[in-house]
Amino acid sequence: MLAKKAERINFSSIVNRTDYPDFLDIQIKSFQDFFQLETKSEERGTEGLYNTFMENFPITDTRNQFVLEFLDYFIDPPRYSIEECIERGLTYSVPLKARLKLYCTDPEHEDFETIVQDVYLGTIPYMTPSGTFCINGAERVVVSQLHRSPGVFFSQSFHANGTKLYSARVIPFKGSWIEFATDINQVMYAYIDRKKKLPVTTLFRAIGFERDKDILEIFDLAEEVKVSKSGLKKVIGRKLAARVLNTWHEDFVDEDTGEVVSIERNEIVLDRDTIIDKDNIEEILEAEVKTILLHKESAQQGDYAIIHNTLQKDPTNSEKEAVEHIYRQLRNAEPPDEETARGIIDKLFFSDQRYSLGEVGRYRMNKKLQLDIGMDKQVLTKEDIITIIKYLIELINSKAEIDDIDHLSNRRVRTVGEQLSSQFGVGLARMARTIRERMNVRDNEVFTPIDLINAKTLSSVINSFFGTNQLSQFMDQTNPLAEITHKRRLSALGPGGLSRERAGFEVRDVHYTHYGRLCPIETPEGPNIGLISSLSVFAKVNAMGFIETPYRKVEDGVVDIKNTPTYLSAEEEEDMLIAQATINVDEDGKILADKIISRQEGDFPVIDPVNVNYTDVAPNQIASISASLIPFLEHDDANRALMGSNMMRQAVPLLRPEAPIVGTGLERQVASDSRVLINAEGDGTVEYVDAQKITIRYERSEEAAMVSFDSDTKTYPLVKFRKTNQGTSINLKPIVEKGDKVVKGQVLCEGYATENGELALGRNMKVAFMPWKGYNFEDAIVISEKVVREDVFTSIHIDEYSLEVRDTKLGNEELTNDIPNVSEEATKDLDENGMIRIGAEIKPGDILIGKITPKGESDPTPEEKLLRAIFGDKAGDVKDASLKASPSLHGVVIAKKLFARAVKDKRKRAQDKEDIEKLEDVYDNRFDDLKNVLVDKLFNIVNGKTAQGIYNDLGEEIIPKGKKYTLKMLNAVDDYTHLTSGKWTTDDHTNELVADLIHNYKIKENDLQGSLRREKFTISVGDELPAGIIKLAKIYIAKKRKLKVGDKMAGRHGNKGIVARIVRQEDMPFLEDGTPVDIVLNPLGVPSRMNIGQIYETVLGWAGKDLGKKYATPIFDGATLDQINAYTDEAGIPRFGHTYLYDGGTGDRFDQPATVGVIYMIKLGHMIDDKMHARSIGPYSLITQQPLGGKAQFGGQRFGEMEVWALEAYGASSTLREILTVKSDDVIGRAKTYEAIVKGEPMPEPGLPESFNVLMHELKGLGLDIRLEE
């Protein structure tokens, strides 16, 4: 049972291996960055929850008299532990409180005092240490989303007539989209929110480039010429760049007011692009204009033709006209005044409230357009718009590149933290609205922040996110690999992402930037292929949300092997020459080869080592965890590798798991990072061990003891038979003994698909690749009876059955073992609460929980009257509402739980009050004791030192500067939890110790408060249950599933099959020495599928089994054929596993040698017990009266249209008629048929199928009068 840490023999050729990052970083770190509980509030900066609060506060009323300001937020400890939440169906959450300050700016309200209050904002689901959320008792995972990064994207498309159209799309973090695009007439339009279209020049006029001259000058296209006869003669033959307008004013009298109003009129004298000749000179002079605008005679003129075309199409001439035109386009109404019209553009793109590119968007925009705008400027600027249009014009003239939308520098990851931030943003914005309304209503009365805030607003938004959002998913918990993969998954679906129907081939395809970032192998088969992917093993998500992967720097052909690798994003990696991880280097890192193959974007040039910029850190850098667990992946076809990595996630944890003989070296890391096992937190000694718990005494330094409030021993309870989301069981067993020395990080237990701290999804099996009597045709599997007998593939599955007791209108329901009209035999195992006893064996139809429910009064029948007369009133007014075992349930009851609310009467209430007062006294003493310990420890640290001035969060001086510390002085401090600024002593190290001590004190005090609240709640309310439910009974049933015919099994290389026959051990083929094999696989499953990895694994596995060794063969850097041969020779087994086998039945030798060895097989979650199903008479659909479908509904098999054709083709008319009528929806006919069968009479004639009546009613619904005539 004890930890035998046999090191695997590693075939890797890489000397300096890089450590993997923590596999759950993407979840846990993201959530920590969001809540930032460890960070002091002044350092919290611009991300996470703090930032969301700062965006929504301060809030003022409409007259700016009252201001509600946000100071800080903090959380209280959760009320229940994670285990309690899972048991009771509750959400594991923490109460969020904000410290708010309300003050008045209006001198009239001088009596209004500034109020600082801690306000409760609702409970927020909190992440468990393993990266999940427990919502209503179910563990859920928030999957990260891969979406288009904010910024500007340039793309091209083709019009039906073949014209190339170009567009630039600005995607903000929040706010309206704007797109600039060309059309077939070479005019450029701006589209706002994809629908409203206006010429780009109109937008220019609206943002301050009012005249044609201003617009043309942006692009340096025109020159101004003063109007004079001589000046104009010089420009004859040149083109006008802007219209020449004759402007005059007309006065007229307004009829309503009698005022004289002056109106500006203009007419076009000469249009744009007119070539000036002698006649025009006179017209220009007559128009009395000061200057005219002419085209510059430069080479660029042709490039900018599109701007001239757009000016021609532009209906507006001034800023006023432009803003009004835009207002009309967007609002479909006339603008009330010029101010409103101007405001609309400002609001759309230039207002911090409505529009933001976000930090990422500004960074990408600056990078793409080579701008130098500060990161704090997150709205669009005029400069942005001008530069985008200039770039777009370069694109039209083939002087620039379009963007690759699938490049990973254009896609970013929204992790849990960011998704929560945006939900909080929505919740706080709603809350701000109600706060404003309440501020406006309360004018002079005194009010406090608590009066303004409705806590439900925020928690309803957050709860709906966790409950209904597409990216908040029920965790796949079949085994530890499934858990860890689910948490590292990246989805392109979800709100703001793609939809399956619209995603084309390009989005799903593997892109060269996926290298080392997204796994090219692990993705689902089916409609989601390529939209859901998995993070590669070394990949990290950076602060901007881009995926980075590590490389080692290379300078002058020397690899930097001393320092930690450099992480590069897809953008930083562009143009770099990157060598493989497996190149030969000497001990100083100098590359030994003359020429090496490198990778540059999507190409593979052969170059001199001097030109290399970086090398990979490991060969498995490109793959995800699942793919990295497949040994000899390099010999498998990618399609099969995909199936292999997906099927490992469906492996059922076995009763006796066994780590693979041939692994890849990643098994230990996966097991420890999945957080299912218990690891030692430091060095220490095991003090106590049993099946339920392990106690360890840790060694710690004097200083650590000085600032800690905990003892140096810690007890770890072991999880016993806990049901997972998928019904598999977690059962941990200790692998250390009393007195063992443990080191930090050492694994203390095994179980739940782990053995000895390594992932162990299946078992090592002796295999022969040969056909066996046709039983392994088409991937079927033949298995030896020994495997079943020795429980090799036996697994335990746990079902949870629960029953709620509600209060109904007719009275309360009741749990009881006294159920009307049920035999004593059926209730013999029930206790007084109607719950079945632990250890009872369950068969289909057994009562699991007995419950009676009041029945509505109807006139009793004579029999009932008699019963009531004899037995009193009980028998008639209740009905049986017990929970019974479903048709396929066989198992043993392993646990039962009953949760109930406290039922209150007057005496009980008085008693409760007394109990709570006693409880509070007990806890007051505990708080005092804790504070005394703090003061003692604090005095030990600061004894003899001088205070430097300590202040609380309101700025009051609590400990004055310059005084020597005394015990009395420290005892006099009331509240240690809110001391926020100042220094304790002049020595930094002492100050750090004090800070740690007070931090630990806060944690301990918080825990005490939480525990007090919990105990009070238990006294006053009892168990927390959903509304309307008085009691909740739960029963857990364990099923021991042995391997059966029909179960699905697989290897790690996508070689899956169904168990077709379980054969007696003596009939299995055996080796020369008489050893029978455990499993026979069909050799025809190998060549066409091209997963030769399984053969390599089989041969090396046999050598390992015989030598008692385990191997690690990392992918793309694994064992070579020569290395495998060396081990097979050492073990004395034939090379390549080619062996003559003997027939178990006759003892004859088979003609040809077969490949024999040891392969790692897993049992998948698709088990025959869950799928086997037969129906006799069962439920019918209400309207069509046809039998329901599916096992869950106890339904039948559908006989569809094509099956009908088959029977028609055979002319089986009577069978067909029977199937379509009495076996389906001929209601009268099926009753008669049953009678006839029971009585042994001949079959009756079928009647009218109910579906015919449905058709009739549908036609009547159309208003057609249809009658059946004889």
Helix (H, G, I), strand (E, B) or coil at 312: helix
What pLDDT score does 535 carry?
Answer: 97
Q: Please list the ranges in the chain whose pLDDT falls under 50.
A: 1-3
Q: Give pairs for 899-906: CB < 8 Å, separation 24+.
A: 899/88, 899/1023, 899/1025, 899/1031, 899/1032, 899/1033, 899/1034, 900/1022, 900/1023, 900/1030, 900/1031, 900/1032, 901/1021, 901/1022, 901/1023, 901/1025, 901/1030, 901/1031, 902/1019, 902/1020, 902/1021, 902/1022, 903/1030
Residues 6 or more apart whose CB falls under 8 angstroms from that of 93 comprise 78, 123, 124, 125, 126
Tens of pLDDT, residue by residue over 270-282, are: 777 777 777 777 7
Q: Residue 109: its pLDDT value, please?
A: 73
User: What is the C-alpha separation between 780 and 1063, in angstroms, rounded?
Assistant: 13
Residue with tokens 């045709």: 777
Q: Decide if 880 contacts 849 (C-beta within 8 A).
A: no
977: CB partners within 8 A, 6+ apart: 998, 1001, 1002, 1005
572's enclosing H/E stretch is: helix 570-573
Q: What's the chain's average pLDDT?
A: 88
Give residue 658's pLDDT. Answer: 95
Segment 1167-1221, tens digit of pLDDT: 888 888 888 888 999 888 899 988 888 889 999 999 999 999 999 999 999 999 9
pLDDT score at 2:
44
- The token duo for 439 is 């501020």
Rg (CA), the chain: 39
Q: CA distances (Å), 863 to each of 497, 876, 880, in order? A: 65, 10, 18
pTM for this predicted structure:
0.89
Domain map of the chain by residue range? 9-17+499-622, 25-147+413-484, 150-210+306-408, 222-295, 801-898, 906-1020, 1173-1261
Distances (CA, A) of 199 to 314, 325, 389, 958, 1036: 6, 11, 12, 66, 69
Judge: domain 25-147+413-484, CATH 3.20.20.70. Answer: no
CATH of 1173-1261, one of 3.90.1800, 1.20.81, 3.40.50, 1.20.120: 3.90.1800
Give every CB contact of residue 744 below 8 A, 6+ residues apart in sequence: 680, 681, 682, 683
CATH superfamily ID and name for 801-898: RNA polymerase II, Rpb2 subunit, wall domain (2.40.50.150)
Give backbone dihedrals phi and psi of 388, rounded to 5 degrees, phi first. Answer: -60, -45
Question: Using the 8-state DSSP alphabet, how is residue 679 labeled?
Answer: B
Total residue count of the chain as it appears in this document: 1270
Distance CA(815)–CA(853), nearest Å, equals 9
**Cβ-proximal residues to 3 (8 Å cutoff; 6+ apart), any chain:** 735, 736, 746, 747, 756, 757
Rounded to whole angstroms, what are the CA distances from 371 to 203, 383, 1124? 21, 9, 58
CA distance 964 to 128: 44
Nearest to 464 by CA among 135, 57, 197, 705: 135
CATH of 150-210+306-408 among 3.40.50.360, 3.90.1110.10, 1.20.272.10, 3.90.480.20: 3.90.1110.10
In terms of C-beta distances under 8 Å and separation of at least 24 residues, what long-range contacts does 973-981 make, across chains too? 976/931, 976/934, 976/1001, 976/1002, 977/1001, 977/1002, 977/1005, 978/952, 978/953, 979/950, 979/951, 979/952, 980/951, 980/952, 980/953, 981/950, 981/951
b or e along 371-391 (b: 16 or more beta carbons within 10 Å of the residue's beta carbon)? eebeeeebbbeeebbbbbbeb
CATH number of 9-17+499-622: 2.30.150.10
Nearest alpha-carbon partner for 614 in 650, 561, 539 = 561
Cα→Cα distances 1032→48, 308, 983, 1219, Å:
38, 76, 54, 44
